[in-house]
Amino acid sequence: MDELDSAIVRLLQTDARQSNRELARQLGIAPSTCLERVRALTRRGVIRGYHADIDPVALNRGVQAMVSVQVRPLSREVINTFKTSAAEMPEVLSVFVLAGGDDFLLHVAVRDLDHLHAFLLDRLSKRKEIVGFRTSVVFQQVQKAAPSRLP
């Protein structure tokens, strides 16, 4: 990645919906050059996709929590199976596979504390591979401003 590639990535992180023409104008390059650079970044896997930043409160999922999970036995099959099934749960926003005392960290969003309690009791505690979990309720989330993101 050269300086131009880095500048493209920074600008797209700030606003991924801007047109190629606007991106090229900000960079001071021809639109065709800009388009080819963006395509190359995509082919190389630097740009993995674009997404909409959705407010969970607007979807009636105002309570978020981080759930640390331990599974047993620790085997590739158990880890892969749990990772896949957790990612498919509608309450789960993200699944992180960890090293250390915990095996997974689940970022969940639900309507209220009653729904969080139900998720923990009805969805997690009934799974035979889970030997323990701890829950931390998220009070606030602060995201870094786009210009300070990678690279």
In tens digits, the chain (151 residues) has pLDDT values of 999 999 999 999 989 999 999 999 999 999 999 999 999 999 999 999 998 888 899 999 999 999 999 999 999 999 999 999 999 999 999 999 999 999 999 999 999 999 999 999 999 999 999 999 999 999 998 877 655 455 5
What's the confidence (pLDDT) of residue 85?
A: 97
What's the confidence (pLDDT) of residue 11?
A: 94
Within-domain flag for 129 = yes
Within-domain flag for 144 = no
d(CA 85, CA 92): 10
d(CA 107, CA 135): 10
Within-domain flag for 8 = yes
User: Token pair of 47, please?
Assistant: 């740009």
State the CATH number of the domain containing residue 102: 3.30.70.920
99 and 123 both lie in a single domain = yes
Find the domain containing 28 and state its range.
3-43
72 and 97 both lie in a single domain = yes
Unique residue bearing structure tokens 């978020």: 64
38 and 62 both lie in a single domain = no
Nearby residues of 131 by Cβ (< 8 Å), 6 or more positions away: 70, 71, 72
115 and 67 both lie in a single domain = yes
Q: Residues 48, 51, 57, 58: what is their CA dihedral angle, to the nearest 10 degrees?
A: -160
13 and 87 both lie in a single domain = no
Within-domain flag for 48 = no
38 and 107 both lie in a single domain = no
Q: What is the pTM of this model?
A: 0.79
> How many folded domains does the chain comprise?
2
What's the confidence (pLDDT) of residue 90?
A: 95
62 and 115 both lie in a single domain = yes
Within-domain flag for 82 = yes
Within-domain flag for 117 = yes
Within-domain flag for 149 = no
What's the confidence (pLDDT) of residue 145?
A: 60
What's the confidence (pLDDT) of residue 54?
A: 86
What's the confidence (pLDDT) of residue 142?
A: 87
Within-domain flag for 122 = yes
